[in-house]
């Protein structure tokens, strides 16, 4: 009879360690099968895996449910929403795969997260399509910023992927610099994408409900709150930094980061749907719908460009000698530095 044995877990002194996480580590040269099996045992990555694997199916269900609605796909007005949902399904799946297979080897760990970062950068572009179509302030319609909004978001996605991939290279020698680069790589596209919301929020601040088409829905507020919490958890590494070893399996910052990110995407989808419905008649009189061909061409070019960036960093990684600090599987000398995903 075929029997499968769950992989053995390691302690902090045996592996390349995470700040505040003392146990539950997988072997740094696990097989692909061991990586898959580890998702069914309690490790410090198990909750990370499932908090993005299950939401992948939720967003896919939302995509199929909306796309399968009567006449939904046939109407150009709906296409930016569908384009947004494609990377919304992709980024949690890429994250799930990265957390699952990152323990196959030091090189595999970095390549997995290169792909994870690429999916997140595509998500940042995906957000720009519905914001340009449904969420622009009235004074911005047909203006220069509106016309350049999606092209700029496309360029931002290249910057996001390149900077975040590069940030893995100095993480042993300069972990602070690595963290700053990675945070900036994702914070900047988020801030740019949400400029229309920030502007509308500023217009409506203190005016109550007397805000007309610029009013933001409650879901917009929840989305921005979740984004704020996501950034805080990513940079602070709380609560595990306050009590090392107490949150190794459940409750550490990366798990909470995943949950807040997924909730933020959910509320973002609801906010986009709210803008679609409440502003439809007004937008129909203001601007033509975005063309599907141009949208798909833009998305395709950005996918190709991001894959080329990831390929370049992967090639650099594969050429690195085995003595390169980046490929060391254990903690740095002195055990005082940790990697940050």
Q: What is the DSSP string of 88-107?
A: HHHHHHHHHHHHHHTTS-HH
Calculate the dihedral angle through the C-alpha atoms of 297, 302, 303, 307, rounding to the nearest 10 degrees. 140
CA separation, residue 139 to residues 128, 199, 210, 260 (Å): 18, 10, 17, 32
How far apart are the C-alpha atoms of 17 and 216, rounded to whole Å?
43
Instruction: Say if residue 258 carries a ligand binding annotation.
Output: yes
Among the listed residues 132, 138, 190, the one whose alpha carbon sits nearest the alpha carbon of residue 160: 190
CA separation, residue 288 to residues 21, 134, 298 (Å): 52, 11, 18
Helix and strand numbers (H, E) in the chain are 11, 0
Instruction: Say if residue 13 carries a ligand binding annotation.
Output: no
Residue 295 exposure: Cα atoms within 13 Å on the Cβ side: 22
With H, G, I as helix, E, B as strand and everything else as coil, classify residue 282.
helix
Tokens at residue 73, please? 């796909």
Instruction: Say if residue 254 carries a ligand binding annotation.
Output: yes
How far apart are the C-alpha atoms of 284 and 171, rounded to whole Å?
49
User: Which residues are annotated as part of the binding site?
Assistant: 99, 254, 258
User: Which residues are annotated as part of the binding site for Zn(2+)?
Assistant: 99, 254, 258
């Amino acid at each position: 009879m075929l029997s499968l044995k769950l992989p053995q877990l390691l302690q902090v002194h045996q592996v390349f360690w995470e700040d505040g996480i003392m146990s539950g580590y997988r072997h740094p040269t696990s097989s692909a099968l061991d990586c898959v099996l580890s998702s069914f045992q309690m490790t410090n990555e198990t909750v990370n895996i499932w908090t993005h694997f299950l939401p992948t199916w939720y967003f896919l269900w939302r995509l199929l449910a909306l796309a399968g609605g009567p006449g939904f796909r046939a109407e150009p007005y709906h296409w930016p929403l569908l384009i947004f949902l494609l990377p919304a399904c992709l980024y949690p799946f890429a994250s799930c795969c990265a957390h699952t297979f990152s323990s196959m080897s030091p090189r595999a760990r970095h390549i997995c997260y290169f792909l994870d970062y690429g999916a997140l950068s595509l998500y940042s572009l995906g957000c720009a399509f519905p914001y340009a179509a449904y969420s622009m302030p009235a004074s911005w319609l047909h203006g220069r910023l509106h016309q350049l909004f999606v092209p700029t978001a496309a360029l931002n996605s290249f910057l996001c992927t390149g900077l975040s991939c590069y940030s893995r290279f100095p993480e042993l020698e300069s972990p602070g610099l690595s963290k700053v680069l990675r945070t900036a790589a994702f914070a900047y596209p988020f801030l740019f994408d949400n400029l229309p919301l920030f502007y509308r929020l500023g217009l409506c601040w203190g005016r109550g409900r007397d805000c007309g088409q610029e009013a933001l829905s409650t879901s917009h507020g929840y989305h921005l709150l979740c984004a704020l919490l996501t950034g805080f958890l990513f940079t602070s590494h709380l609560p595990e930094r306050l009590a090392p070893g107490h949150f190794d399996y459940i409750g550490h910052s990366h798990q909470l980061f995943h949950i807040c990110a997924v909730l933020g995407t959910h509320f973002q989808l609801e906010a986009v749907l709210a803008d679609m419905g409440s502003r439809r008649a007004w937008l129909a009189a203001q601007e033509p719908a975005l063309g599907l061909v141009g949208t798909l061409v833009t998305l395709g070019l950005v996918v190709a460009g991001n894959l080329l960036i990831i390929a370049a960093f992967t090639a650099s990684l594969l050429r690195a000698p085995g003595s390169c600090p980046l490929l060391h599987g254990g903690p740095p000398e002195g055990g005082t530095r940790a990697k940050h995903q």
